[in-house]
Amino acid sequence: MSYADKFESMKKGFDMGQAIAEADRCLLCHDAPCSKGCPADTDPASFIRKLRFRNVTGAIRTIKTNNILGGACGVLCPTAELCEKECSATGIGQPIAIGKIQRFLIEHARETDFKVFAKADPRPEKVAVVGSGPGGLSCAAELAKDGYPVTIFEARPEPGGVLRYGVVSFRFDLDFLAAEIEDIRNLGVDFKCSSPIDGHKGAEDLLGDGYQAVFLAPGLWDAVQLKAAAEDIKGLYSSVQYLEGLRDGNLQSFAERIEDKTVAVIGGGSVAMDCVESAARLGAKDVYLVYRRSYTQMPAEAEERIDALQGGIHFLLLNQPVDYVVDENRCIKGLKLVRTALGDMDDSGRRSPVNIEDSEWILGADVVIEAIGNKAEDQSPGWYPHVKLKEKNLIQTDPATGKTSVDGIFAGGDIVRGPALVVNAVQDGKVAARAIKAYLKQ
């Protein structure tokens, strides 16, 4: 099997029989806790009930009306921490597989060409959206449903944000993304790709350029680094460089750098899991996941952790990387680690890792990938200079509306919350769209 094949497509989802069998297990709770567990109000209790009574189109309508990225969320939501965590069936056995049912319904809508929305009568007020990730797409769709002409300005050549250039293709493939975006194009949203908003034409200039409101959702595209001034080390990548490279036509060149080599990935979240799994698929000899806390403290989902362990990834837990080992040509040779023990609780509610004295050692590695977080791009505030910021260059908004400190400018998604989830960005887009409509009607 070629590398391209190993990365090409997602695992198959439920078929109709499996989806109905799963919906038949639903306890039809009155005040359904699963719906309360969904950050985007997708209302799983309602679509599962409809499917259970064989109202398939009604179920699809519920999802799409509440969540234009219902398919993406069905695939990518960490459901065990959200809707399924609240499912009453958990007390009896397994929770209902809400995400899988949701994905099936959206795929079924596509296969049967069932369209939920008709084009609305056009309204005169134009809105600009900056960024075509889940936040921007959700806001644009909500506005377009009501006839507002929306233009999305996207810096990269193709739309989708992290869905296109972050999440690995074996978890979320191009065909699935294309179908999800097609629904939004069909609402009349205009996509201007390779069109960054920058210092020359900032967000505030858009307001004077025919747009009555602007929604900012540029996400977080700079990588948090373990050490400053390490950019010139050959064989050291940030997760942003690595994952974007894999999805941007550089699969073969990464395969050549990784095949038969030892790869170390620093981090314990879902992004680190995408990095270790893809390195294994690229034929690495050994893949180490280096994490400074313990197994149960890892932010990655239990299923992802188990998949990685079963895939032969070596978990190096309770080890803190402190430096890189390089040769005279600045090629990476390994990682200097210090062993840790768990100390007192920290702000995250977990026991903090404490370095153990004199326990440094070196892990040999040919490739190191840092997956320790993303942050706002350093130049971002330059293109919205009057928008008030909070810590880490994130944008300050009113959470009930997404309003920023500049009249007519709204914001949402990761640039407001910090690293979060697709479903959170979808909700921010909905909240801001509602507030933008109210603002335009003033």
In whole angstroms, give the CA distance from residue 165 to residue 372.
Answer: 17
Amino acid at 23: A
Q: How far is the CB of 429 from ligand SF4 (least distance, A)?
A: 13
**Residue whose CB is less far from ligand SF4, 287 or 423:** 423
Q: Which does residue 153 touch among ligand FAD, ligand SF4, none (CB within 5 to 8 A, set by kind)?
A: ligand FAD
Regarding 79 and contact with ligand SF4 (CB under 6 A), the answer is yes
> Which residues between 134 and 153 bind ligand SF4 (CB under 6 A)?
none
The interaxial angle of helices 302-310 and 270-281, nearest 10 deg, is 20
Residue 154 touches which of ligand SF4, ligand FAD, none (Cβ within 5-8 Å per kind): ligand FAD
Q: How many Å apart are CA 156 and CA 89, to the nearest integer? A: 43
102 touching ligand SF4, by CB under 6 A: yes
Is residue 423 involved in binding ligand SF4 (CB under 6 A)? yes
Q: Which of 95, 99, 166, 429 binds ligand SF4 (CB under 6 A)?
A: 99
> CA-CA distance, 288 to 316, in Å (whole number)?
7
Query: Is 32 or 128 the residue whose CB approaches ligand SF4 more closely?
Result: 32
φ, ψ (nearest 5 deg) of residue 341: -130, 160
CB of 361 to ligand FAD, least distance (A): 29
Nearest to 60 by CA among 52, 45, 50: 50
Do 212 and 408 form a contact (C-beta atoms < 8 A)?
Answer: yes
Q: Which helix (H) or strand (E) holds 429?
A: helix 422-440
Separation between Cα atoms, residue 388 and residue 407, nearest integer Å: 12
CB of 35 to ligand SF4, least distance (A): 7
Residues 14-43 binding ligand SF4 (CB under 6 A) are: 38, 40, 42
DSSP character at residue 14: -
The single-letter code of the amino acid at 189 is V
**Which stretch in 97-105, 166-174, 184-192, 407-415 sits in contact with ligand SF4 by CB under 6 A?**
97-105
* Residue 241 C-alpha from the chain's centroid: 16
Selected from 82, 96, 290, 415, the binder of ligand SF4 by CB under 6 A is 82
Residues of this chain that interact with ligand SF4 (CB under 6 A) are 38, 40, 42, 44, 67, 73-74, 77, 79, 82-83, 98-99, 102, 423
